[in-house]
């Protein structure tokens, strides 16, 4: 066989191997980005689940607290209004947002609700009769557990986003990401002072509104 023909066949075989390797690499790269993107969406759904659980608990909490006739009306109104604000934020519960502003609006509404709930629970310390009810204690435990789950799921979501963003920004995946429209996703941002409970000043020299004054000492 002519050496030139043999050389061409070898070159063609090498070319096919190179094309095959590149093709497999592209397939692997694409599948990896799809997998990381789905992981982000899965974690986003988990975040939504725990936020929804808190959202659903609030009507029962408000109804229970209303049983304390002298409880501060403004505190209950703040919780109700904050919950309504959360309900007005339209965001897809199954697909993680790619718009940082959209996530920021979602965070702001949830942060407002967290603050209102924290203030309610702090103010409730002033009402021993309310704290003594089994219903209130159960709701408080459920809310505290839900807040812990929110923190955990937000952390897992950020981990998934970090892995996804690292993948689509790494070479050669970055070439595929641009070709197929994989865009970076925003993180949940820690808010300065968010871990600090709200400070509520009480005037213990007077009883709560509507409560009977202590009898004067002889």
- What CATH superfamily is the domain 33-180? LemA-like domain (1.20.1440.20)
In the prediction, which pLDDT does 206 show? 40
Give 35's pLDDT tier (boundaries 50, 70, 90): very high
- Residues 6 or more apart in contact with residue 134 via CB below 8 angstroms: none
Give the tokens for residue 213: 């004054």
Give 141's pLDDT tier (boundaries 50, 70, 90): very high
Higher pLDDT, 129 or 162: 162
pLDDT at 168 exceeding the cut of 90: yes
Domain boundaries of the chain, sorted by first residue: 33-180
Give 49's pLDDT tier (boundaries 50, 70, 90): very high
DSSP string, 15-63: HHHHHHHHHHHHHHHHHHHHHHHHHHHHHHHHHHHHHHHHHHHHHHHHH
Give 152's pLDDT tier (boundaries 50, 70, 90): very high
User: Would you say 186 and 161 are in contact if contact means Cβ atoms under 8 Å apart?
Assistant: yes
Higher pLDDT, 102 or 190: 102
């Amino acid at each position: 066989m002519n050496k030139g023909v043999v050389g061409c066949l070898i070159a063609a075989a090498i070319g096919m191997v190179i094309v095959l390797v590149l093709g497999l690499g592209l397939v692997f790269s694409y599948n990896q980005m799809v997998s990381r993107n789905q992981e982000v969406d899965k974690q986003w759904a988990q975040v939504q689940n725990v936020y929804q659980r808190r959202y659903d608990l609030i009507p029962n909490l408000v109804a229970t607290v209303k049983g304390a006739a002298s409880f501060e009306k403004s505190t209950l109104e703040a919780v109700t209004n904050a919950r309504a604000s959360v309900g007005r934020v339209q965001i897809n519960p199954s697909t993680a947002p790619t718009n940082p502003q959209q996530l920021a609006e979602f965070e702001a509404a949830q942060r407002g609700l967290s603050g209102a709930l924290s203030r309610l629970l702090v103010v409730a310390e002033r009402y021993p009769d309310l704290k003594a009810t089994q219903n209130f204690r159960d709701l408080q435990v459920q809310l505290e557990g839900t807040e812990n789950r929110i923190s955990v799921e937000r952390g897992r979501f950020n981990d998934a986003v970090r892995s996804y963003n690292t993948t689509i920004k790494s070479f050669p995946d970055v070439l595929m990401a641009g070709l197929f429209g994989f865009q970076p996703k925003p993180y949940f941002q820690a808010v300065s002072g968010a871990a600090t409970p709200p400070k509520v000043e009480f005037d213990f020299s007077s009883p709560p509104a509507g409560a009977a004054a202590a009898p004067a000492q002889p």
